[in-house]
Structure 1
């Protein structure tokens, strides 16, 4: 039974199969009909990618099922919400059922696994049959719910079946005694059963939070029996994912868990979500408790089903430890008090300009105060800090980096950094500010490639430790997250240009500050070539790139590399740079070559804004 057959599931097929139900209710009822009670069995089309309205119910193996049916039935049962995967375990021998741990890992394939015919030669003792499984592996999910994409690669495993005595001892039945670890799911089934949420932790030594994306079950978890809210809180208490852990802190004391037996969390009629914890949290109070509550509030805001205006943390005896409301939690945001009407900046005829693009029609560009807005030193690329008080500009030939006020008139200071590369294309990249007020830029000089961080934009430039910047690697462009903990890098190695996410770590030894970018992770492994990237919120990116054999596309990606079918944006030709706002209300803007600056408002198509503009950026 291959992936194509599995995409159109039968309600009943040779006694082995699944039942597929589509939820209908409210606005979703349009186009839904009642379940027929007569007529022939018909094929039911599987869920579209990530269609959480489709429910799959596993069917137990029928009596005297042949080995093909056992393997097919088990592969289908893995895609269901069956409590404890109890039905899936009925396809296993008693020993395999005891040792199989579906919660420990998920292997995600491009489509459902292909089951080939049994290879009887693979079992020299002729005690059973081995069924090869194949597919294209695109990602894994570990026990901490972290999604890890991989460049699509061949997946080859096997399932082995043997005959064992039936329960009454009067015959034998085929059952699986050896199988791949965890769950093995096609991408469509994975996105139907799981959803991405952001957990939040504090940047190490700081008072603002950092998003840590993970995947939880869309509905009740088959193993823990927890609803999505409780799953999310449990994942938060378990701590950050292994990749992010070195750069963040959790305010929850080590060993803090939900009180035993808690499987459902629901706000009360005052929109307060009460979270009962174990005894490890009993002695927490004051500011540490407020920080714990802030982590919870930021984490829960991604769950649209939860209307929690405040959270209350409770100790092991039910005592209230602290309460915190959404408004109070805002003081811990990486971007605080941001103007809801974010405006992008760009370069026009070498000058820094600002666009007001929030209305139905874009207004004419606005001249920016300060020396970068005069054009006396022509600019090639720019970045504006989060507070919109300063800007950084790289001169048109790429040699010098300048920083200046954009609120007051002043003379242009000396460059804070310069490149010695011979060719303009090998000099400084476009700069980027993080939320701490530090400025980042890459020197692409082949003789001395280097990533630089300028403290507060005007301090002595710090060489960033980049042990991976070797072997002919070159940083084409970069964007630092608002929290300053992650950096998106467009990196060329050989003939391929890829998008990588690096973790920023800071250490102070005496008077020396050591900044490193470590553990690069692929964020768009299915793209053969990446042209541009921009942050679009706490854990989302807008990426311009091209898949193998495809055309250029613009799409949203999570920082963990996961995506969905709805993430592709309307097509646009010749895009060389892109910029996204921190919130959702303002338009995306891009540099589209001959068309100049264009914008994409929510629910609209691309519109030209400034024909002669280039290098658009939002603050950051």
Structure 2
């Protein structure tokens, strides 16, 4: 049997269903089943009892209910006495792919000693689909034991908290195989955890957005992306909500909270065409029913579950809260989408069709020496603050007629200013290795925030996301990290740092900007030219944005992207087709700005 043989078959499954070959199948599904069986018989005739996956698969659409997610289930088979090392290792990998659904197959590939030690607990290793099993060299004792090497390219790791972490590089593992008296081989030592291919993950896992609460006022949801495995024993809605009852991933640990206490249990989930009913038990807080409703609604709807239906949450069978799809939702408020730009040091409004006037006060007056402007969320019925960096520090001014520039953070080597949604202004003092916060509303005192992970790093940029929790930091010229603000008030700490992306040696990060809660725009100067990527900070999924001119800066909010080009100093906007840039202002305009981000 050839090296590329797959030890298993793939079947489309709906959660809570079993493979169905009975009279309820549609004609299309019957034909697919016949094709799959024919392939199985063909391969059996070649001496390998293997059902091969392919385009002819049994399909089950799961009834079309968005509470479920149809998926493909691979059926693995035990090791065969006619198999050599190659088939055995590939069969072992297939058994790992189905382990969550059928844990009985994998132990049959292991010797008693290996079976006693192995556990599925631990991170899941994800490899590219095309991997190689290198056969062992000839040995005198090959009749009893030998070693085979599995080589592949590393794609990602799925941590035990369900976080998906992309990675790259070569991966290989040596397996000791023991010959059995009946023929065939067993694996004598297997490290903890599962080894899956990328196809396995695409087939059995779904990217899923969970929603928790930011700390403080708790008036804002924070998204946490995970990879959840689809289960035959429950609906996808059940899977999502069960995971929502658990703590967030490590990236947000200590930075967010929840309205669902640890005692909460899901008793049942029912649905009709117009309503989804979720019955919970536990010590739910009546004062947090709006937050609870928002967490559940967004965790279901953002994953295309229950969309457009009324969501009723019950407590022990009695109505607790009901959420209607047409209700006003402020739980993902981004605090304004007014666009601004800068012309000769003066801040202007940018309308949909071009310039829309200068802002009020000193910030609207032309002046030199001011750069890296940032605008806060609106305060006091519509007023906002603008901050800018000068040679001696960071100054702020209200965008109103009596607004005047005032230096509030002194320093000659500060990162560009960034606003928090609570109205505070932040920067990093590179000389003093200090993260600084200034709150113009609550008091004039300058606070130093603990950020121990940044002490020995060359911090070049720091920007707070609009959710008020995540923070992006660039270090040096080519590394981007994502952290989170942990705790509240004077106990706030910046931590939980994880690498998001890094460029090749010699390349450079030109600018970064938050697009929304999940996505960061990264403008990179590479040897081949400029690259603009939109990266999901939860799982590293990256989408390239086509460029026309060379850019100096970017700004974004809710899918709208503005940029400043080098040539002619124009402000551009990316059309909704994500392919075309339209000139908004030319010339002598620059640095487009949205509030926060």
The TM-score, its normalising length taken from structure 1, stands at 0.77
Query: 1:605 maps to which residue?
Result: 580
Query: 1:537 maps to which residue?
Result: 516
Aligned pairs for 1:464-503 (under 5 A) are 464-471=449-456, 473-492=457-476, 496-503=477-484
Closer/same/farther in 2, CA of residues 110 and 590 from structure 1, 3 Å limit: farther
Query: 2:435 maps to which residue?
Result: 451
CA distance in 2, matches of 1:116, 1:571: 43
Closer/same/farther in 2, CA of residues 574 and 34 from structure 1, 3 Å limit: farther
CA distance in 2, matches of 1:313, 1:56: 32
Query: 1:431 maps to which residue?
Result: 417
CA distance in 1, matches of 2:301, 2:291: 16
Query: 1:209 maps to which residue?
Result: 221
Shift in Å, 1:411? 4.5
Query: 1:276 maps to which residue?
Result: 279
Query: 1:553 maps to which residue?
Result: 531
Aligned pairs for 1:293-372 (under 5 A) are 293-307=293-307, 309-315=309-315, 317-326=316-325, 330-331=329-330, 333-335=331-333, 342-357=337-352, 362-372=353-363
- Answer whether contact 1:380 1:398 (CA < 8 A) is retained: no
Query: 2:62 maps to which residue?
Result: none
- Answer whether contact 1:159 1:180 (CA < 8 A) is retained: no
- Answer whether contact 1:247 1:485 (CA < 8 A) is retained: yes
SS at match of 2:462: strand
Closer/same/farther in 2, CA of residues 46 and 594 from structure 1, 3 Å limit: farther
SS at match of 1:287: helix
Per-residue CA deviations over 1:524-563 (Å, capped at 9, x if unaligned) read 246664332222222222222367x764321221223421
Shift in Å, 1:365? 4.6
Closer/same/farther in 2, CA of residues 602 and 239 from structure 1, 3 Å limit: same
- Answer whether contact 1:503 1:518 (CA < 8 A) is retained: yes
Name which of 87, 92, 96 aligns with 1:69.
87
CA distance in 2, matches of 1:594, 1:176: 62
* RMSD over aligned Cα atoms: 3.7
SS at match of 1:314: strand
What runs of 5+ residues in structure 1 fail to find an aligned partner? 7-12, 24-31, 166-170, 421-426
Per-residue CA deviations over 1:119-177 (Å, capped at 9, x if unaligned) read 678x9997433322334435322222012345x34433233332346xxxxx2432334
Query: 2:209 maps to which residue?
Result: 198
Per-residue CA deviations over 1:500-540 (Å, capped at 9, x if unaligned) read 111212455xxxx2432113211124666433222222222
CA distance in 1, matches of 2:480, 2:385: 25
Closer/same/farther in 2, CA of residues 569 and 376 from structure 1, 3 Å limit: closer
- Answer whether contact 1:106 1:185 (CA < 8 A) is retained: yes
Return 90-99 or 480-489, whichever deviates more. 90-99
Name which of 576, 586, 589 aligns with 2:562.
589
CA distance in 1, matches of 2:259, 2:183: 55
CA distance in 1, matches of 2:496, 2:296: 27
Given the alignment of the two structures, is residue 405 of structure 1 paired with residue 398 of structure 2, yes or no? yes
- Answer whether contact 2:163 2:226 (CA < 8 A) is retained: yes
The TM-score, its normalising length taken from structure 2, stands at 0.80
Query: 1:131 maps to which residue?
Result: 148
- Answer whether contact 2:344 2:368 (CA < 8 A) is retained: no
What runs of 5+ residues in structure 2 fail to find an aligned partner? 14-28, 44-51, 58-68
Name which of 416, 438, 442 aligns with 2:408.
416
Per-residue CA deviations over 1:54-109 (Å, capped at 9, x if unaligned) read 84634424452222111122324545698335555554457756865547421234
CA distance in 2, matches of 1:201, 1:590: 32
- Answer whether contact 1:247 1:503 (CA < 8 A) is retained: yes
Query: 2:64 maps to which residue?
Result: none
Shift in Å, 1:233? 0.9
